[in-house]
Amino acid sequence: MKFFADTSDINDIKELENSGLLDGVTTNPSIIAKSGKQFLPLIEEICSIVHGPVSAEVASTDYETMIKEGKKLAKIADNVAVKVPLTPAGLKVCKELSDEGTMVNVTLCFSAGQAILAAKAGATFISPFVGRLDDLAQDGMQLISDICQIYANYPEWNTEVLVASVRHPVHIIESAKLGADVVTCPPSVIKQLFNHPLTDKGLAAFVDDWKKTGQSIL
């Protein structure tokens, strides 16, 4: 499974990249707005740090403007994945950009039917939002299961399932069990995977016992 960081924080991105745990980055208009930085230079900077795909989202909703924005974003770096909404216009843009060799992340997916359309349009990634479905008392992980099952039936489709709106480590673990290709989440959620009280307790005991030996490895 690939780990994408859903953030525009350069320090967090550098930390994860240096750890070897980071496979890519996703951004959206909300994340960019919170950063307070200029969009295009920020995407360029992130692309220079991260070797994997960096999702940069178009800001318009009509086809004519979206395709112009998408082509401009694609020119920033080879690892840009243009992010488009799962709408008729967005899928039209997806098809055109994909045919030109540009990575495309189709976002705001909430049904298996939508995921089928994205795969047929040539999407590199489909981003189903599990957390937002959970917020409505719907089963976000069931959607991931359905999409993975459908995609497995059609090996000619190369669209990767990118689980988005991840709220906690259980979302990551369940997505991995279902065979999702990618999860994207805030760096804080990725770091939560380290946490277990027995690990902390065991390490404390080992450190204490080692001190009692009076030895040093160095």
Copy the structure tokens of residue 136: 């409505």
83 given a catalytic annotation: yes
Per the residue annotation, which of 14, 68, 72, 83 is the catalytic one?
Answer: 83
Query: Which residue's structure tokens are 């989202």?
Result: 57
- Distance from first CA to last CA of the chain, Å, rounded? 37
How big is the CA angle at 83 (ends 82 and 86), to the nearest 5 degrees? 135
Tell me which H or E stretch contains 127: strand 125-128
Q: Say if residues 218 and 197 touch (Cβ distance below 8 Å).
A: no
Q: Say if residues 28 and 184 touch (Cβ distance below 8 Å).
A: no
Q: Which of 73, 54, 44, 42 is nearest to 16 (CA)?
A: 54
Q: Which residues are catalytic?
A: 83
